[in-house]
A = this chain, B = another copy of it.
Amino acid sequence: MSKCDQCIIRQFNSLKALGKDDLIRISGCKTSRFVQKGETLFREGESINGIFCIKDGVCKLTKLSANGKDQIVKLVVRGDLIGQRSLVSDEKSNLTAVAINDMEVCFIPKSEILHDLAKNASFSLDMLQDMAKELRVADNIIVDMAQKSVKQRLADVLIYLHETFDKDNDGFLTVVLSREDYASLVGTATESAIRILSQFKKEGLISTTGKHVKIEDLEGLRRIE
């Protein structure tokens, strides 16, 4: 089993604030797990009792809305932690996590993390900063949802994907989302997402092959209004 203190992933999240001895202690009780594409990591309403550290892959955090549709609240990528909120507020998860890729995740039980939160001020400050950042992003999403058109939001998502994820040799995004996922990210009907993506394709802003998407004209997407 790999050790946390030798894991480069932790450089990308709050775990970097921990010292070597803490990391070794955590190594001893963490579990590692492979999650297949489409598999559910945890569901809304479940107690997670720990945090997940994403070693590889991508997953979507969704929330069931009043009308029965799942809405994607956030994409979580390699290096991110999930479950901090439920951990510190000692509540059940408000979100469902589903793998979009094959993933590799580590799970650190609650007690270990709480131990560090209570003892290590720089660790809890780091986590506080992380949450502050998430909150700022959430504020931006709220405003965008309220004020931007579906077309703009979809363009934003494409720009975000382009800036966040790798491309293959032909320039296609390595994250492959269904049209339903795109719809769920921007909060619209699947048909609307399909229609707008078709339009973007016609306008030469993107190209698609099946579910694979390539951004052809980033500046054009930025100009969408």
Contact = CB atoms under 8 A, between A and B. Distances in A.
How many identical chains are in the complex?
2
A23 B85 CA distance: 28
Nearest to A149: B67
A145 B148 contact: no
A125 B63 contact: no
A141 to B, nearest CB: 5
Nearest to A136: B94
Interface of A: 63, 65-67, 69, 71, 73, 84-86, 88-89, 91, 94-95, 117-119, 121, 124-125, 127-129, 131-136, 138-148, 152, 186-188
Contacts of A85: 132, 135-136
B127 A117 contact: no
26 contacts: A63-B139, A63-B140, A65-B143, A65-B144, A65-B148, A69-B147, A71-B142, A85-B135, A85-B136, A88-B128, A88-B129, A89-B129, A89-B132, A89-B133, A91-B136, A94-B136, A94-B139, A95-B139, A117-B121, A128-B128, A138-B142, A142-B142, A142-B145, A145-B145, A146-B188, A147-B187
B121 A118 contact: yes
B132 A71 contact: no
Contacts of A66: 144, 147-148, 152
A121 to B, nearest CB: 5
A135 B136 contact: no
Nearest to A119: B121
Nearest to A90: B129
Nearest to A118: B121
Contacts of A124: 121, 124-125, 128
Contacts of A187: 143, 145-147
B135 A131 contact: yes
3 smallest beta-carbon distances between A and B, as pairs: A146-B187, A138-B138, A145-B145
